[in-house]
Structure 1
Amino acid sequence: MKFPAILLPLLLFFLCFWRSESQTPFLDGGGAWEVLQQSIGISAMHMQLMPNDKVVMFDRTDFGSSNISLPSGQCRTDPHQEALTHDCSAHSVEYTIATNSIRPLTIQTDTWCSSGSLDRNGQLIQTGGFRDGDRVVRTISSCDACDWTEYPENLAVRRWYATDLILPDGRIIIVGGRRQYNYEFYPQQNPNLFELGFLRETSDQDENNLYPFLHLLPDGTLFIFTNTRAVLFDYNGNRVLRELPAIPGGEPRNYPSSGSSVLLPLTLTGEAGQETDPEILLCGGAPFGSFDKAVQGEFLEASSTCGRIRPMDPQAQWAMETMPMGRVMGDMLLLPNGEVLIINGAGNGTAGWEFGRNPVKTPVIYSPSLPLGQRFQVLNPSSTPRLYHSTATVIPDGRVLVGGSNPHTLYQFYNQEFPTDLSLEAFLPPYLSMQHLTRRPRIVSSYTQPLSYAQPTEVMYFLADPLPMGEITVRLLAPSFTTHSFGMNQRLLTLKVAGEVVQLSLFTYRVTVLAPPNPNIAPPGYYMMFVVHSGVPSAGVWVQMQ
């Protein structure tokens, strides 16, 4: 095949550039896997991408000794720990994407089954846990040498299996947890504890209302789903506005049945770039009684159903679909091209120690805009089971970090069907394949100042496609705090394009978009901005909404 003279050097340049962003070119349309680290020292139970392109990960302090030491020769002494009362190992690390390197971090209180959210300044606010960590707030900022700061007794009540969500005013709401039918705010206010009877109503003997699914809707209300039921909630007035229909089929979706949920991408249309018709997607889970059956050694098949609902529709009803396979403990991630990735988990059993079987190693992509019956695509499998306590998150170059899996009460590396896993992988979605090489844009704009709500923003990008006839969109993706099959705070916005795409030079273009209209649509904080051409996203650049 002969290339026009002007395109050959460009293609070589673009190939080098592309390799620097996505590491391993591949041809297969089913995605690809690469092992980044055989061991990061801990099992990645919790995961948060930071605005400095580092990923903070941690597990819990009562697993025993990890495979990485605390920095500066520190140790932790806790006479109440059953595994190890004097522990000089780290249980949190920072992963630097650019150098594929690990730095140990210092956590002194137990973070088991805790929650978190980035605040408006890109600082991770991390809440709760177990025993000495259940009322602790921990913070870590985005800098090269930052470490954890811990604030004991900083929560109103113990928070174990709670959910955190950033609000339009920059506060973080902390909802639920084991035997906590209430919510509170960070920073604290007076009073700072509010009853939420819906959590008590939806708790059963297996407590299928833990890690409730929270989504901020465009009108400023909350969608809250626990067990099989959902409500629209006014957190300022502490009142349920409306209960939505129960999801058909009666299968629980929250921990320990552990399905997952996303707010589908918001397309900002209309004169002000407003979105008025949000849609929620829930997939997977486990039948009622799965936890008790697993205790007895019987592992029921996981749910293979998904439900979609438009919660702001006065006649809202669930529309049900069937996945290619059942899945419990799966993670659902919004990809920058508007698709949903479903990854990790098991085909039988439930969340909990030793209670998952039949690992589902094949990711699935869900395309929300395709017709019913055409939305699922099964991708290439990993060789690594990712069961209880596994996580995943999207990173700026478009890859998906995948780590964790420890279905045991302690670190168990040998003589186990599913040993504790300390490795870190990357999954490369199909849009990173070689066949899309010239279709992938590269943003050349620099955003040193925060974006202002409802204001026009110019985005310049490079595109090597000699015939760029495909659609151009600009999207903002809020990174998630991922744990226990739920990505807290993830949010994908398709911005309104204001005017035509302008060609500045042979391969450089400019498009003007409107920033999100208000904090209900995009709470203050950091987002990754992507330019998407014909379904192929650029690498993301960080922008701050303020």
Structure 2
Amino acid sequence: MACISITMHALLLILVAALSSFSNLALAIQPSLGKWKLLKKSIGISAMHMALLPNDRIVTFDRTNFGPSNITFSKGKCPLNADGCYVHSVEFDPASRSIRPLTLLTDTWCSSGALSSDGVLIQTGGNNNGERVVRYFKTCAGCDWEEDRNGLVSPRWYASNQVLPDGKIIIVGGRRQFSYEFIPKTTESDHKQYELSFLLETRDSDAIPNNLYPFLHLSPDGNLFIFAKDRAILLDYVNNKVVRKYPVMPGGVSRNYPSTGSSVLLPLTMSSKKPTPDAEVFVCGGTLSNSIEKALAGEFIAASQTCGRLVINAAEPQWVMEEMPIARLMGDMILLPTGDVIIINGANEGAAGWGVARAPVLNPVLYRYNGAKGNRFEVLNPTATPRLYHSTAHLLSDGRVLVGGSNPNSNYNFTALFPTELSLEAFYPPYLTGTSLRPSITRVDPGREISYKEKLSILCRLKSKYGVQLDKVQVTMVSPSFTTHSFAMNQRVLVLEVEGTRRTSAGDYVVSASAPATATLAPPGHYQLFVINNGVPSRATWVPHGTGHDYEVV
């Protein structure tokens, strides 16, 4: 009995110490605060990069020189240049939870990407033999990576991508790269790079830049908002001209890698009365510029608790600051179908990098962007799995948030303080755990590509034996992101103008809405279309917008 008592006491001490070191708020598990579910204990690799395709499959990968992963190619399938036949990219099907090994031949470490207008994942740069590579992954059964080893003008390591109104993709920055370029390279001008002194001006030093993975957001006027370290510009990339400089974000905090905060463009609300909506950028977290130097010396500085909102197309833009309930760096900011923001993953102390963060933040935070200031944040139920450096998150079409990765080690290491994490979890936001009824989309007219300004009729069903009706209806279109290093590139939510809702004789509903008016509001591409009933989203239907492709409701 004495031996059992000592063991239990020791376990309790360990548990208390672990919980206190993880800097989380003490919360009872409440269904109204969301829930977690383990989807796959191991996918064989650590999900450093993540993208969702229009067939609802997730493509994820790490770096090809990470050392042995926990999954290998089958006999006879070992590709050239593969060290010991180890796999470093997989396709994951959230519905069946199955994985399929994919083939990468060049180094994808800290690379970037975007989903093209025709639904192809275009992935750029990396390190070593991958620094100038453009990779393509098509949305089709059995597809694999295709690689163009001379696809970029300059090496792009830690760069960011954004889809533009003409369907091209701009790639900005990278380690020791103070420029931008475009893909695909269809014209003579595409084979050039364009200098951007802003990236040199915001760099702290060559060793610790604090401006890598700059935050990119397409403005409704077609120009590009670029945020690096603690300041931002509006770039006319067509004429290679900075057309606006914004005030420095208050607080003296660096927000980009390796200080690593995150950023989203808050939802753009479509309205015939206001054709150009307010475009408001939201930036949260990060840390002091010298945090990584301190951490390397064994001192772990607390992350920032501050966030800022900036209306980038206002006459006189000014940052409006507020505080998160939990200080955080390396947090992923993911836009939900409702337009609200989940801030998930990350740490409370240190910086982004190998072994330089402490105190994982296990609780996601919900940010209600339309709420009253001072009452917008809500702390949600925690995971049991720390997600630090090289972790990722992505919105799924069923409204869940997929979470994976975390490897703050220089290789696959399962005995480190924070081991390499191979699992995938799903977080169910509060709208999936409440009592409100969820609509389901059964048809979208027209049943083809959606054109700009086109009228949409969305047939949806609301199952209820209690006579509950569709209420407080919203329709949103979500542009899927490419997520890595706490930044979801190309992420965008468009709130469509709803013109009316009517009940059919069969008891279903027809929601009438208008598609976005211009490509500067909604660049051509594949979007997830949601109908929201009283704050609860349907499962998404994929719709091509301005792309020339037909689609089906599945």
Asked whether the two chains share a fold, i.e. TM above 0.5, the reply is yes
- 1:455 aligns with 454
Would the alpha carbon gap of residues 58 and 469 (structure 1) be closer, same or farther in structure 2, given more than 3 Å must change?
Answer: closer
Per-residue Cα deviation, 1:172-199 (whole angstroms, up to 9, x for no partner): 0000000000000001242321000100
Aligned length: 510
Instruction: State the distance in 2 between where 1:434 and 1:536 align.
Output: 9
Q: Are the counterparts in 2 of residues 115 and 161 from structure 1 also a CA contact under 8 Å?
A: yes
Q: Are the counterparts in 1 of residues 79 and 103 from structure 2 also a CA contact under 8 Å?
A: no
* Residue identity opposite 2:222 in structure 1: G
2:171 maps to 1:171: no
- 1:445 aligns with 443
Residue among 39, 42, 54 paired with 1:39: 42
- Detail structure 1 runs of 4+ shifted over 4 Å in the superposition: none
Q: How does 1:209-358 map to 2 (within 5 A)?
A: 209-271=211-273, 274-358=275-359
Per-residue Cα deviation, 1:478-505 (whole angstroms, up to 9, x for no partner): 111000000000100010112x211003
Instruction: State the distance in 1 between where 2:156 and 2:74 align.
Output: 28
TM-score normalised to the size of structure 2?
0.90
Q: Are the counterparts in 2 of residues 390 and 404 from structure 1 also a CA contact under 8 Å?
A: yes
Q: Are the counterparts in 1 of residues 269 and 277 from structure 2 also a CA contact under 8 Å?
A: no
SS of the residue corresponding to residue 445 of structure 1 reads strand
Instruction: State the distance in 2 between where 1:295 and 1:65 align.
Output: 26
Query: How many Å apart are 1:361 and its aligned residue?
Result: 0.6
Instruction: State the distance in 2 between where 1:227 and 1:234 align.
Output: 20
2:91 maps to 1:89: no
Instruction: State the distance in 1 between where 2:343 and 2:543 align.
Output: 26
Instruction: State the distance in 1 between where 2:276 and 2:378 align.
Output: 28
SS of the residue corresponding to residue 443 of structure 2 reads coil
- 1:8 aligns with none
Query: How many Å apart are 1:538 and its aligned residue?
Result: 0.5
Q: How does 1:160-199 map to 2 (within 5 A)?
A: 160-188=157-185, 189-191=187-189, 192-199=192-199
* Residue identity opposite 2:246 in structure 1: L
Per-residue Cα deviation, 1:39-95 (whole angstroms, up to 9, x for no partner): 0000000000000010000000111111111356333565xxxxxx83301100000
Query: How many Å apart are 1:27 and its aligned residue?
Result: 7.2
SS of the residue corresponding to residue 32 of structure 2 reads coil
Q: How does 1:488-499 map to 2 (within 5 A)?
A: 488-498=489-499
Task: Give the % identical residues.
Answer: 52
Instruction: State the distance in 1 between where 2:294 and 2:347 align.
Output: 15
* Residue identity opposite 1:124 in structure 2: L
Would the alpha carbon gap of residues 137 and 469 (structure 1) be closer, same or farther in structure 2, given more than 3 Å must change?
Answer: closer
Instruction: State the distance in 1 between where 2:202 and 2:342 align.
Output: 28
2:512 maps to 1:509: no
* Residue identity opposite 1:92 in structure 2: S
* Residue identity opposite 1:143 in structure 2: C
Q: Are the counterparts in 2 of residues 464 and 507 from structure 1 also a CA contact under 8 Å?
A: no
Q: Aligned-residue CA RMSD in angstroms?
A: 1.4
Q: Are the counterparts in 1 of residues 472 and 534 from structure 2 also a CA contact under 8 Å?
A: yes
* Residue identity opposite 1:91 in structure 2: H
- 1:13 aligns with none
SS of the residue corresponding to residue 235 of structure 2 reads strand
- 1:535 aligns with 535
- 2:130 aligns with 133
- 2:549 aligns with none
SS of the residue corresponding to residue 200 of structure 2 reads helix
Q: Are the counterparts in 2 of residues 309 and 316 from structure 1 also a CA contact under 8 Å?
A: yes
Q: Are the counterparts in 2 of residues 91 and 106 from structure 1 also a CA contact under 8 Å?
A: yes
| Structure 2 gap segments, 5+ residues each | 1-28, 547-554
Would the alpha carbon gap of residues 509 and 469 (structure 1) be closer, same or farther in structure 2, given more than 3 Å must change?
Answer: closer
* Residue identity opposite 1:258 in structure 2: T
SS of the residue corresponding to residue 414 of structure 2 reads coil
Query: How many Å apart are 1:153 and its aligned residue?
Result: 1.7
Instruction: State the distance in 2 between where 1:275 and 1:44 align.
Output: 37
Instruction: State the distance in 2 between where 1:299 and 1:75 align.
Output: 42
- 1:204 aligns with 204
Instruction: State the distance in 1 between where 2:355 and 2:80 align.
Output: 28
SS of the residue corresponding to residue 293 of structure 1 reads helix
